Structures are given as structure tokens and as C-alpha cells.
Amino acid sequence: MRTRGVLVVGDGPAGCAAAIAAARAGCEVTMVGSGRARPVPECASLAALGLLDWLAPELATEPQIWLDAPTQAGRAVDRGQLDGGLRAAAVRAGVDYRHMAAAGLRPAMVSGRVVGMTGGGLDVEDRWVIDASGVNGWLRRHLRLEEVIDSRPWWLQRGFGTRIAEQGDPSFNIASHGWLWRRATASGCIWTALSSMRGGAVNWPSGMQPTGRIWLEKRHWRHLRCASGAGYFVCGDAAGYLDPATGDGLRFALESGARAGGLAAAALRWSERASVASALYADWVLQTYRAGRAALVDIYERAGLQVR
């Protein structure tokens, strides 16, 4: 049995941010993740870019991550490359990164408190656990944490496409059945589409067509009733998920991860402050989610797009 300060489950942006923040605060950190790296396109907002600059400034000069130059509307990224860069930054920060799926691993509990994980040959008994496992929610499923499903199902598609010049850039076309967002890159464009109908067709503007693979996902808006508890914090999509129209997924993942990592480190050092830190974090997650949801509902209602 190894004893360490912080265990992070999930190796996406939220998990890497949590691991880097906790390691910088002087904790011994283990991060467990699948190592999955999907080459999907996304747009990092200016706020997300600022956080990346703080967490891993060296990534700004890694050309394979970036699909275009910085603009006032953020920067297009290859998520597989970004995640790879963040994992490497976590290792450089001293994080013990284990490639493995935690699906078969269970949270280790002592007197109703999460203290680590157990099973699959990896028994780690830590004092604070951070769940950054994305929408599948490792702790939510094992601890049966209460989750609020907040919208109808949405069908999301994304990929690369040919470049067109006649629309503003980036462009966001919304209608009663869904929307199409598009942004020019150095070699074409990246796009994301949402539909309220299964198999809903994308309304391509004239002159544009998709190129290469299209990734399809079904998602709801959802959030945990409480994103922290005895011995744990939940961050990123595992804590709250809205759709990409917020343009805020990466920012929220990085910021909630960095906050959770810093707070876990503080809770290790000053255990008497842990319950206050935990309550403040859960409140911040909830308020952030609600603000994002209210903004989306406003946009969708004006477009006649039904949320429920």
C-alpha cells in the first residue's frame, strides 16, 4: 500500500489541471487515466488560454496542438494533442501518471470517507481524491452521488470541413432544431453541430462540406447536486456539463481542476479547514453551472429551441 497526498482519477484537462495544481502546492500526486487521445477539434476561449498559460506555458509553442493563430475569439486546438501536452506537463510537475482504466477500481472508504482507490492491483490510500473522469462520472456511479439531468438529450456532431469565406468568422447559426458553429483554421475549418433530433441533419452553408471523420455524441445538460464531500472533489464534466454553445467547457474543466487541486492540497495541510473549503467549492461549481445554463436557456428560447 502506497500512501500519497492526492489521487486524481481522469487524465483530461480537468484531471491534469488538478494534478499540476496539487503537485505545485507540494503534494505527492498520483493521476490515473486511460491515456485516451481523440484528435477532435475544439476552441479554447481566451479564459481557457490564460489558464493553460498558467498551468503549462510551454504548450503555447508546441505547434501540433494549435490549428490556428490566437484571436479575440480564442484558439482552435486538436484535443488529442492538447491532452497529451497537459499529461506531459503533469509528469514534469512531478505527478506519478498511471495509464489504466479505473472502471474496475473502486473508491476506498474509511468511516464513510473517501480515502483512495482499491482493486486491479492498484491500491492507493490517499487522503484526498479528485474525480475528473468526465461525463461517465467514476465517483458518481460508485457513491451514487445525486445528479440533476437538466435538459432533453442533444445529439452533437463535430469534425473538420472545407473553408468558406462568405460568413463571419467564427459563425454560429441557430434555429429551432439546433445549431451549427464553425471557425476557420489554417487549413480549412472546424465545426460543431447540435440537434434536438436523433440523426438530425446539419444545415451546411453553401460552399462548405465536412471532410474526414465526424464524431457523434449524445449528451444532456447535467450537474452533481454537490461536487465535493468527505475526502473528495469532483471537477470538469464529471461535476457539471452544458453543451459546447457555452464555449466554456475547457475553461471550466481547467479552472475547476486547478481549484480542486489547490483545495485538496490546502485540506491536507489544514484539515480543520477542509469542510469549509469543500462547501465553498461545491457552491462555486453550482453557481458557475447555473450562470452558464441561464445564458444558454436565454439564447435557445429566443431561437425557439426547446430545452426540455
The answer to whether residue 173 forms part of the interface with ligand FAD (CB under 6 A) is: no
Interface segment toward ligand FAD; rule CB under 6 A; list 5-13, 84-92, 263-271, 278-286 = 5-13
- Binding mask of the shown chain, residues 60 to 89, with x at each position contacting ligand FAD by CB under 6 A: ------------------------------
Interface segment toward ligand FAD; rule CB under 6 A; list 4-12, 164-172, 202-210, 288-296 = 4-12
Q: Where are the beta strands (DSSP E) in the chain?
A: 2-9, 29-33, 41-44, 75-78, 96-99, 106-110, 113-118, 124-131, 147-149, 154-161, 171-175, 178-184, 189-195, 210-219, 222-224, 228-229, 232-234, 240-241
The answer to whether residue 156 forms part of the interface with ligand FAD (CB under 6 A) is: yes
Rounded least distance, CB 165 to ligand FAD, Å: 21
The answer to whether residue 36 forms part of the interface with ligand FAD (CB under 6 A) is: yes
The answer to whether residue 124 forms part of the interface with ligand FAD (CB under 6 A) is: no
How far apart are the C-alpha atoms of 55 and 17, rounded to whole Å?
7
Helix (H) or strand (E) holding 22: helix 13-24
**Residue from 7, 8, 15, 56 binding ligand FAD (CB under 6 A):** 15
Task: Count CB-CB contacts under 10 A for residue 81.
Answer: 18
Q: How many chain residues interact with ligand FAD (CB under 6 A)?
A: 36
Maximal C-alpha separation, the chain: 62
Rounded least distance, CB 233 to ligand FAD, Å: 12
Rounded least distance, CB 178 to ligand FAD, Å: 12
Secondary structure letter of residue 238 according to DSSP: G
Q: Which is closer to ligand FAD, CB of 203 or CB of 275?
A: 203
Q: Which of residues 239-258 bind ligand FAD (CB under 6 A)?
A: 244, 247-250, 253
How far apart are the C-alpha atoms of 174 and 154, rounded to whole Å?
14
| Helix 79-92 / helix 13-24 crossing angle, nearest 10 deg | 20
Contact 145, 282 (CB under 8 A): no
- Binding mask of the shown chain, residues 261 to 280, with x at each position contacting ligand FAD by CB under 6 A: --------------------
**Residue from 21, 23, 31, 33 binding ligand FAD (CB under 6 A):** 33
Secondary structure letter of residue 37 according to DSSP: -
The answer to whether residue 11 forms part of the interface with ligand FAD (CB under 6 A) is: yes
How far apart are the C-alpha atoms of 241 and 215, rounded to whole Å?
18
Which residues of this protein are in contact with ligand FAD, per CB under 6 A?
Answer: 9-15, 32-34, 36, 42-43, 48, 101-103, 132-134, 136, 138, 156, 158, 192, 217, 219, 236-238, 244, 247-250, 253
